Amino acid sequence: MTVIPLGVPRRLLEFTLDGEPVRAPEGSTILDACRAAGKDVPTLCEGDTLAPKNACRVCVVEVEGARTLVPACSRKAEPGMEVKTDTERARHSRKIVLELLASSVDLSTTPRVAGWIKEYEAKPDRFGPGAARLNEEPRVDNELYVRDYDKCILCYKCVDACGDQWQNTFAISVVGRGFDARIAVEHDAPLTDSACVYCGNCVEVCPTGALSFKSEFDMRAAGTWDESAQTETTTVCAYCGVGCNLTLHVQDNEIVKVTSPHDNPVTHGNLCIKGRFGYQHVQNRD
């Protein structure tokens, strides 16, 4: 029998978005409503499969009566709210956040951010050449994935994916405090000495490329990574009976990485080590 998932009917609440009345199902975030209304609010730490930590603050909007700006990604819409998404005040904070981030980490592999930097006229260079940066070397300590914390914006997504939101392995955590805060395993050891089970779910959710598949990392280093030349094929994992969907990313007839569709009701984008990394036998022709 096929079960057709039916959403529980939810009441609609009304509020105004940039002066226009809108209706959104109860429980929606302001961001949900913005997206439904076709408004483009920039986001970095928000992820479609995770409850956001609202740490990046690039999605801030103005809510009438609120002392500070509010993060659209996690503030629930309330009846009668008056939300303005594109005020000078909100734009100013977004611009500064982009400048602060781009001046401290490497955003070269973060999708869409270059466009926002241009749109908000952010100038990360104006903090001067002496502005503190992370400047860390990538950590390559295993054959499956690489941690390049020079690109990390501390969005907490990997920690949440590894922890109680999905994987329940709790192999990584934010350690230290303030500007020195970092993602690390216990005792800041190599990944191979940690609890990590190499499911790659943290890599799946990382928005900046700070976590990347070793295959991708190596190809980028060699200058051969070319997303435009890749095809994506979604299939079913052959290892066990759970029926996870796998999306094979293929370039030049080689599988270069495996992801899973985030809207898949079985995986929600998550896989295990076999589905995620166990593809070499497919292309091993010796």
Partner 1 sequence: MDLHFGDSKPTDEEKAAVDALLGPPESSWEGAARDEMTAADLRWARGGRAARERRDLLLPGLHAINDRIGWISDGALDYLCRRLTVPPAEAYGVATFYAMFSVQPRPATVLHVCTDLACAAAGAADLCAGIESRLGLGSGVSVERSPCLGLCERAPAALAIKAGDPVRTAVSAPATVEAAVLAASAPDSAEEEPPAVMAVPQAGGPGLTLLSRIGVVDATSLDDYRAHGGYSALRRAFEIGPAGVIREVTDSGLVGRGGAAFPTGRKWRATAEQPDRPHYLVCNADESEPGTFKDRVIMEGDPFALVESMTIAAYATGAHQGYLYLRGEYPRALRRLEHAIAQARARGLLGDDVLGQGYAFDIEIRRGAGAYICGEETALFNSIEGYRGEPRSKPPFPVEKGLFGKPTVENNVETLVNVLPILTTGAPAYAAIGTGRSTGPKLFCVSGSVDRPGVYELPFGATLGDLLALAGVRDRLRAVLLGGAAGGFVRPDELDIPLTFEGTREAGTTLGSGVVMAFDDTVPLPRLLLRIAEFFRDESCGQCVPCRVGTVRQEEALHRIVERTGAAAAGDIALLREVGRAMRDASICGLGQTAWNAVESAIDRLGAYE
Contacting residues toward ligand FES, per CB under 6 A: 43-46, 52, 54, 56-59, 71, 73
Q: Which is nearer to ligand FES, 57 or 257 (CB)?
A: 57
**x/- string (CB under 8 A) for partner 1, residues 155-194?**
-x------x----xxxxxxxxxxxxxx--xxxxxx---xx
Q: Which is nearer to ligand SF4, 24 or 153 (CB)?
A: 153
Q: Does 13 bind partner 1 (CB under 8 A)?
A: no
Q: Left (φ > 0), alpha (ψ -120 to 50) or beta: where does 260 sit?
A: beta
CB under 5 to 8 A by kind: which of partner 1, ligand SF4, ligand FES, none does 202 bind?
ligand SF4
**x/- string (CB under 6 A) for ligand SF4, residues 177-206?**
------x------------xxxxxxx--xx
Q: Does 153 bind ligand SF4 (CB under 6 A)?
A: yes
**x/- string (CB under 8 A) for partner 1, residues 129-158?**
-xxx--------------------xx-x--
Q: Residue 217 and residue 137: Cα distance in Å, rounded? A: 13
Q: Residue 175 and residue 172: Cα distance in Å, rounded? A: 9
- The runs of H, that is alpha helices, within the chain are 30-36, 88-104, 113-119, 157-162, 201-205, 214-222, 273-277, 280-283
**Structural tokens at position 150:** 């020079």
Q: Does 72 bind ligand SF4 (CB under 6 A)?
A: no
Q: Does 162 bind ligand SF4 (CB under 6 A)?
A: yes
Q: Does 156 bind ligand SF4 (CB under 6 A)?
A: yes
Which uninterrupted H or E stretch holds 189? none
Give every strand in the sheet of 12-17, ordered side by side: 20-25, 12-17, 82-84, 60-63, 70-71
Q: Which is nearer to ligand SF4, 104 or 208 (CB)?
A: 208
For 229, residues 6+ apart whose C-beta sits below 8 A from its C-beta are: 251, 252
- Exposed / middle / buried, residue 139 (Cβ in 10 Å: 0-12, 13-18, 19+): middle
* Binding residue count for ligand SF4, defined by CB under 6 A: 27
Q: How far is the CB of 196 from ligand FES (least distance, A)?
A: 25
Q: Does 88 bind partner 1 (CB under 8 A)?
A: no
Q: Which is nearer to partner 1, 128 or 265 (CB)?
A: 128
Question: Measured in whole angstroms, how far is the alpha carbon of residue 5 from the centre of its chain?
Answer: 26
Q: Does 275 bind ligand SF4 (CB under 6 A)?
A: no
**Structural tokens at position 113:** 């951010």
Nearest to 275 by CA among 233, 249, 247, 254: 247
Contacting range for ligand SF4; rule: CB under 6 A; set: 7-15, 20-28, 156-164, 258-266: 156-164
Q: How many residues does the chain have?
A: 286
CB under 5 to 8 A by kind: which of ligand FES, partner 1, ligand SF4, none does 284 bind?
none
Q: Residue 56 and residue 41: Cα distance in Å, rounded? A: 13
Positions that interact with ligand SF4 (CB under 6 A): 152-158, 161-162, 167, 169, 171-172, 183, 196-202, 205-208, 210-211
